[in-house]
Structure 1
């Protein structure tokens, strides 16, 4: 009696298909299927009562089980095969408990040269980084025997490799789960471009994966500043912290000049020179200098400090018998002269500080309020009184 065998799949290009098995000595040239208008491939085979293992041979190199078979068994090569049973009445035996399973999860990833798993949402992999591509399917609810096939296609749509995994309910874990793992190696000889992977379970198309294989991974842009980075021109805006540093340098330079005053210069100041020095300080805008905030937070002397300093200098003035600025005799410098030199030193430092402060505050002078001008007038009157007292003392 003749029994029909048919196969249908629109998910890959079938050029030829035949049924091979125990009934034709696994000869792919004897029972060839014919393609019909609806895309189904079919043939009929004369079978007598008995048990027959068989498979479909597709395109001369792909072996699939029959999706319509109700029973699957092992073949002589350690794989699986479909099974058809014909009883004595020439009827096909139906399996009342067909094989079944469910897909629990699916993943696709690459393995880099350090053997680390790398999943890519863009499905892009590189020969200079990855050494292997893998697909893993986890199954649950396994009953009976199953075959899972993976077909890898190159960018030219040619079959690169066909792989097979056998699942059964004996090898499942405590959670009644099992998995099928497929992989290919990539190297310098691997074709570049868009690849495809198709998964079949018991000859039935299940899923398809697309991914790309490229020679080199893209270079990461170096965001560090190179040695050729442009230098701002003189017209560019200078950062505030640079300006502040220049102010500090000016103040330090003024202090250095003060320290360079020699003993000879101090001794050459006569009483008349001292009065001229007072006049210079009086002409200086002391009140303006007092309001300047130094970058180094230098404390500016107040009017009361200046008055105290003048009092100390007045008290240290030499008597008529030893006028200020006169050279001391070989016996040495008296205590009164030393105190006078100290006062002169402090006065010189005060003058230098006020002059440097005025240079730094030229821009702010135009913004002074009327109230500050009135305070300046008051301060100048106080200083005039001090100068008058000093002149009377010298007289």
Structure 2
């Protein structure tokens, strides 16, 4: 059967489809840029399971929000998944996955209990920049990803996690993403982009200052 894959990350210069068939193994397929997405079309076989992920500019790995379902692996990765039975039918969930973002904020440390200090400006004195995300109504397996960009717009890093509940909808799930602050990191206004299941959610910023004074004392919080 023909299956069309579509990645809507239009800022990319190139996108590859990394796809792993249980029968034929792994392949990397270049995707073609269209008007509003990168696309490719493949022949998929019955009685096979395909795991796949979009590899963007060799650095960014995002799953497909439109996939029939998602599948975590034992080594902590998560993939989009297409399972086809012997009759050529694509299998789907027997429930409706869900996830909602309740809170998204910057801190300088991961604090599981006690008072949180929200801040958007950091200095060399801080060891790391942390993002605290709180979720509600979580059911199923979901990929969370933050893309970190330098002040000049250059991609710096991707941090990813798996947010899940496999039995019932859960609230008050907290997740942390962070980067370490080093002397080599440029000062200025950094940007982050937040994705869930490969779907763009929001963009925000923080500042790394050249000293421990000035705007570092400002406390700001993102409203979701």
TM superposition score category, shorter chain reference: 0.7 to 0.9
User: For 2:184 and 2:52, how far apart are their aligned partners in 1?
Assistant: 37
Over 3 Å counting, the alpha-carbon distance change for 1:105 and 1:188 in structure 2 is same
Over 3 Å counting, the alpha-carbon distance change for 1:98 and 1:57 in structure 2 is farther
Answer whether contact 1:152 1:198 (CA < 8 A) is retained.
Answer: yes
Give the equivalent residue in structure 2 for 1:218. Answer: 213
Name stretches of at least 5 consecutive residues in structure 2 with no aligned partner: 110-114, 216-224
Give the equivalent residue in structure 1 for 2:118. Answer: 119
State the Cα distance separating 1:164 from its structure 2 match: 0.9
Give the equivalent residue in structure 1 for 2:220. Answer: none
Over 3 Å counting, the alpha-carbon distance change for 1:171 and 1:209 in structure 2 is farther
User: For 2:121 and 2:138, how far apart are their aligned partners in 1?
Assistant: 33
User: For 1:118 and 1:177, how far apart are their aligned partners in 2?
Assistant: 19
State the Cα distance separating 1:182 from its structure 2 match: 0.5
Answer whether contact 1:9 1:40 (CA < 8 A) is retained.
Answer: yes
Q: Deviations over 1:342-361 (max 9, x none)?
A: xxxxxxxxxxxxxxxxxxxx
The structure with the largest alpha-carbon Rg is: 1
Give the equivalent residue in structure 2 for 1:176. Answer: 171
- The reply to whether residue 150 of structure 1 matches residue 146 of structure 2 is yes
User: For 2:167 and 2:133, how far apart are their aligned partners in 1?
Assistant: 15
Give the equivalent residue in structure 1 for 2:191. Answer: 196
User: For 1:213 and 1:145, how far apart are their aligned partners in 2?
Assistant: 33
State the Cα distance separating 1:110 from its structure 2 match: 2.5
Determine which structure has greater relative contact order: mean sequence separation of CA pairs < 8 Å that are 6+ residues apart, divided by chain length: 2
State the Cα distance separating 1:109 from its structure 2 match: 2.0
Give the equivalent residue in structure 2 for 1:79. Answer: 77
Answer whether contact 1:53 1:81 (CA < 8 A) is retained.
Answer: yes
Over 3 Å counting, the alpha-carbon distance change for 1:61 and 1:71 in structure 2 is same
State the Cα distance separating 1:90 from its structure 2 match: 2.3
**Structure with greater strand percent:** 2
- SS of the residue corresponding to residue 30 of structure 2 reads coil
Over 3 Å counting, the alpha-carbon distance change for 1:14 and 1:201 in structure 2 is same
User: For 2:33 and 2:74, how far apart are their aligned partners in 1?
Assistant: 30
Alignment of 1:157-172 (within 5 A): 157-170=153-166
- SS of the residue corresponding to residue 130 of structure 1 reads coil
RMSD: 2.4
Answer whether contact 1:132 1:185 (CA < 8 A) is retained.
Answer: yes
Name stretches of at least 5 consecutive residues in structure 1 with no aligned partner: 221-395
User: For 2:132 and 2:20, how far apart are their aligned partners in 1?
Assistant: 33
- SS of the residue corresponding to residue 22 of structure 1 reads strand
TM-score by length of 1: 0.49
Answer whether contact 1:71 1:98 (CA < 8 A) is retained.
Answer: no
- The reply to whether residue 45 of structure 1 matches residue 70 of structure 2 is no
Give the equivalent residue in structure 1 for 2:221. Answer: none
Give the number of equivalent residue pairs: 207
Give the equivalent residue in structure 1 for 2:8. Answer: 8
Over 3 Å counting, the alpha-carbon distance change for 1:73 and 1:219 in structure 2 is closer
Over 3 Å counting, the alpha-carbon distance change for 1:181 and 1:219 in structure 2 is closer
TM-score by length of 2: 0.83
Write out the 4+ residue segments of structure 1 that deviate beyond 2 Å after TM superposition.
Answer: 23-28, 75-78, 87-96, 116-120, 170-173, 217-220
**Structure with greater helix percent:** 1
Alignment of 1:26-45 (within 5 A): 26-28=26-28, 31-37=29-35, 39-45=36-42
Answer whether contact 1:188 1:215 (CA < 8 A) is retained.
Answer: no
Give the equivalent residue in structure 1 for 2:53. Answer: 55
- The reply to whether residue 141 of structure 1 matches residue 137 of structure 2 is yes
Q: Deviations over 1:291-344 (max 9, x none)?
A: xxxxxxxxxxxxxxxxxxxxxxxxxxxxxxxxxxxxxxxxxxxxxxxxxxxxxx
State the Cα distance separating 1:177 from its structure 2 match: 2.9
State the Cα distance separating 1:25 from its structure 2 match: 3.3
State the Cα distance separating 1:172 from its structure 2 match: 8.9
